[in-house]
Amino acid sequence: MKIVQVLLGMGVVLISLFLLMLLIKGDVDSGGGLKYQNSSTREAVLEGPFESSGNNARFLQTEAIVERGSLFYTIDQATLSRPDIVKANGEYFSIFPPGVSFLAIPLYILGRIVGAPQLTTYLLNIIFALVNLLLVTRLSRKLGAGVLPSYIAGLIFLFGTNALIYTTGFSQHHVSTALILLALLNAFRDRSLLNNILFGVYFGSAVLMDIPNAISMLPLVIYVLYKHFSIKAGTRSYNIQLRLSFVGLILGLVPFVILFALYNFQTTGSYAALAQTLGRARIGEVEKIQDISLQTTARNFIAFDSRLFSRGLYVLTISDDRGLFFYSPLLILSLLGGVMAYKRNEIKEKVVLLIALILMIVSLYAMFWDPWGGWAFGPRYMIPVTALLSALLGVVVHKYYRKLVFTIIFILFLLPSFFISSLGAFTTTQVPPKVEAVNLEPKIPYNYKYNLQLINKDELGSLAYNYFFKGKMGGLQTVGLYTAGTAGFVLLLYAPQFISRKEEINV
């Protein structure tokens, strides 16, 4: 059985890899070569790999490190990365923490050898998306789902949520999600020295990818620390037992703290000063760009504000511009999975921890002044939450996928979720939030309807489409086929169980 499982896993990963490769952003230049691979063909055009400053700032930092051995941008690099740049001591650098840029260095070097550094560097997110597919599958298994439902959960995360489009860029989302999932799975384990070192590594590196991860992962940190204490009642005294393996947490974390401190020192001039605290800079100017929202309130203002909670919660869950359930209605069924998993005594503690993680991330970003994530496709800050919800969905599928009514509901929710995700993945993340869109001239929609508009005009960002199919196949036809492929892949895994009507198919 083991070998079948390994083969199944490999099959799922390889097919998913193929499906993801079809989405890689790119175009051909006038000479028939690959565009965007050097500075002369690099431009920030809609649907291109450089459409978002978030991608650019990170990629150009990698480029600066490899090409010039520097953490700082040239003026051209800074121009392409704005407004996500900071200026200190006369040098421009990225406003983001450096984790993603550091991690992609080997891929950039590989790309330089084959003459496509942008293309290979951006593969980082595809690699981590596949890792996340396996981690969601693993998590779903831990929550009690069978092998096939667990893979279905992983595939739903990858192809049925807005996680799909963020495989095509160079953002922190998939790496952060992977580290959060790894830390969660690690937290389920016994607190051995090695597990603690690994947990420290996951936490430290997650913060190096994205600062808010330090808060998002707080429930895990608290849980892991709590696991080191136990109380045993003796005849005359209580014994509080502290497991010294907690030292592993420090051992794992310290290298990343040192690395981050050194990075800060090199860039901001202080070990403790983060780039974000300096504020964004304009090219050629030293002044900080004051965010408008900072000026609109008389109260002390930090990025996360309890007053914004109700607005943020609405935006992130059910709104028609960034609502999680609006973009992926399939995940509504996950709520049922939470209840079902919680009812199983042997995994109750794990489920509570998972729910704590979900609620922490939702609460954190609900209080964020920009829950929309700027111009984005769907609730991009919720990608770790979609991973966790997808894992819970595996539990629901496991329980009900022999039932006809559930199967019908499942398919009815699955198809729009997969179609919407594909709309984004073939086009752009640059969708304005409603608050901005209503003031734009000419008007553009503030949700996936914008992506649909682009698709209908056959304006797709996919390299494969632009190289092989442009002019031969319509945009909508392409997206339709892709949706059929990804949804069909999921249903292919779903079908054997449904048809056999057995308790569980052993693979």
Partner 1 sequence: MFKMPTVNIPIGKVLVNTIKTMTEENIFRYGVILLCIMAVWNFTNFYQNHLGLSYNDARSHLDIGRRVVEGLKPGLAQLGSVWLPLPHILMIPTIWNDFMWHSGLAGSIQSMISFVFTGILIYQILKYLKVGILGRIFGVSVFSANLNVLYLQSTAMTELLLMVTMTAGAYYFMRWAMDQDVLHLIKSAFWTMLATLVRYDGWFLFVFTALLLFIEVLRKRGYKTAEGVFILFCTLAGLGVVSWFMWNLLIFKDPLYFAYGPFSAHSQQEQLLASGNLPTKGNLAISTQVYLYALLFNSYTLPAILAFFGALAFWFNKKINITLRIASLTLLAPLLFNILALYLGHSVLFIQGISGNTWFNVRYGILMAPAIAIFMAYLIDHFKDFRWLVIGLFAFVTFFAFANQDAVTIDDARVGSSQKNVSEVSGWLNKYAKDRAGFILISAASHDAIIFSSGLPMKKFIHEGTGAYWESATTVPDHWARWIVMRTHDDNDLTFKLVKDTEGFKNYDLVDSYPFADIYELKSEYFDRLNTTPVFGKQK
Q: How far is the CB of 240 from partner 1 (least distance, A)?
A: 4
Helices 173-187, 383-400: axis angle to 10 degrees equals: 60
Bridge partners of 230?
Answer: 241
Q: How far is the CB of 162 from partner 1 (least distance, A)?
A: 24
- Whether the bond between 117 and the residue before it is cis, its omega within 30 degrees of 0, is no
> Is 310 one of the binding residues for partner 1 (CB under 8 A)?
yes
First to last CA, the chain: 6
> Is 245 one of the binding residues for partner 1 (CB under 8 A)?
yes
456/466 Cα distance (integer angstroms): 15
> Is 349 one of the binding residues for partner 1 (CB under 8 A)?
yes
CB of 331 within 8 A of CB of 394? no
> Is 304 one of the binding residues for partner 1 (CB under 8 A)?
yes
Q: How far is the CB of 22 from partner 1 (least distance, A)?
A: 41
Stated as kind and residue range, the H or E segment containing 85 is: strand 85-88
Task: Return the residue of 40, 89, 295, 300 that touches partner 1, per CB under 8 A.
Answer: 300
Number of residues that bind partner 1 (CB under 8 A): 44
Q: How far is the CB of 9 from partner 1 (least distance, A)?
A: 26
Question: Which CB sits closer to partner 1, 89 or 300?
Answer: 300
Name the DSSP letter for residue 272.
S
Task: Give the CA distances from residue 180 to residues 145, 219, 226, 344, in Å, rounded to whole numbers and listed in that order.
Answer: 20, 11, 18, 24
Question: Which CB sits closer to partner 1, 288 or 307?
Answer: 307
Of 246, 249, 269, nearest in space to 257 by CA: 249
> Is 222 one of the binding residues for partner 1 (CB under 8 A)?
yes
Task: Return the residue of 2, 31, 89, 236 that touches partner 1, per CB under 8 A.
Answer: 236
> Is 439 one of the binding residues for partner 1 (CB under 8 A)?
no
473/475 Cα distance (integer angstroms): 7
Q: Which stretch binds partner 1 (CB under 8 A): 202-210, 251-259, 263-271, 307-315?
A: 307-315
CA gyration radius for the chain? Answer: 23
> Is 301 one of the binding residues for partner 1 (CB under 8 A)?
yes
Q: Which stretch binds partner 1 (CB under 8 A): 157-165, 352-360, 398-406, 452-460?
A: 352-360
Helices 332-342, 348-366: axis angle to 10 degrees equals: 140
> Is 339 one of the binding residues for partner 1 (CB under 8 A)?
no
Name the DSSP letter for residue 115.
T
CB of 181 within 8 A of CB of 143? no
Q: Which stretch binds partner 1 (CB under 8 A): 109-117, 295-303, 384-392, 393-401?
A: 295-303
Task: Return the residue of 286, 302, 404, 405 that touches partner 1, per CB under 8 A.
Answer: 302
Residue with tokens 């603690």: 196
Task: Return the residue of 188, 309, 406, 498 that touches partner 1, per CB under 8 A.
Answer: 309
CB atoms within 10 A of CB 459: 17
Question: Which CB sits closer to partner 1, 3 or 302?
Answer: 302
- The residue length of the chain stands at 507
| Strand 91-94 to 85-88 pairing | antiparallel
Q: How far is the CB of 379 from partner 1 (least distance, A)?
A: 17
> Is 343 one of the binding residues for partner 1 (CB under 8 A)?
no
358/112 Cα distance (integer angstroms): 39
Q: Which stretch binds partner 1 (CB under 8 A): 89-97, 192-200, 261-269, 425-433?
A: 192-200
Question: Which CB sits closer to partner 1, 29 or 349?
Answer: 349
Question: SS3 letters for 29-43?
Answer: CCCCCECCCCHHHCC
Q: How far is the CB of 337 from partner 1 (least distance, A)?
A: 17
> Is 292 one of the binding residues for partner 1 (CB under 8 A)?
no
> Is 242 one of the binding residues for partner 1 (CB under 8 A)?
yes
Task: Return the residue of 14, 114, 247, 499 that touches partner 1, per CB under 8 A.
Answer: 247
Task: Return the residue of 41, 276, 363, 453 that touches partner 1, per CB under 8 A.
Answer: 363
Task: Return the residue of 123, 179, 340, 367 that touches partner 1, per CB under 8 A.
Answer: 367
- Whether the bond between 83 and the residue before it is cis, its omega within 30 degrees of 0, is yes
Q: Which stretch binds partner 1 (CB under 8 A): 49-57, 174-182, 198-206, 303-311?
A: 303-311
Q: Is 25 exposed, middle or buried (0-12, 13-18, 19+ CB in 10 A)?
A: buried
Bridge partners of 85?
Answer: 94
Q: Which stretch binds partner 1 (CB under 8 A): 52-60, 80-88, 228-236, 316-324?
A: 228-236
CB of 96 within 8 A of CB of 57? yes
> Is 291 one of the binding residues for partner 1 (CB under 8 A)?
no
67/202 Cα distance (integer angstroms): 28
Q: How far is the CB of 238 from partner 1 (least distance, A)?
A: 5
CB of 380 within 8 A of CB of 400? no
Question: Which CB sits closer to partner 1, 30 or 439?
Answer: 439
Task: Return the residue of 21, 185, 274, 352 that touches partner 1, per CB under 8 A.
Answer: 352
φ/ψ region of 412 (left if φ > 0, alpha if ψ in -120 to 50, else beta) reads alpha
Question: Which CB sits closer to partner 1, 332 or 355?
Answer: 355
Task: Return residues touching partner 1 (CB under 8 A).
Answer: 192-194, 218-219, 222, 233-234, 236-245, 247-248, 298-302, 304-307, 309-310, 313, 342, 348-349, 352, 355-356, 359-360, 363-364, 366-367
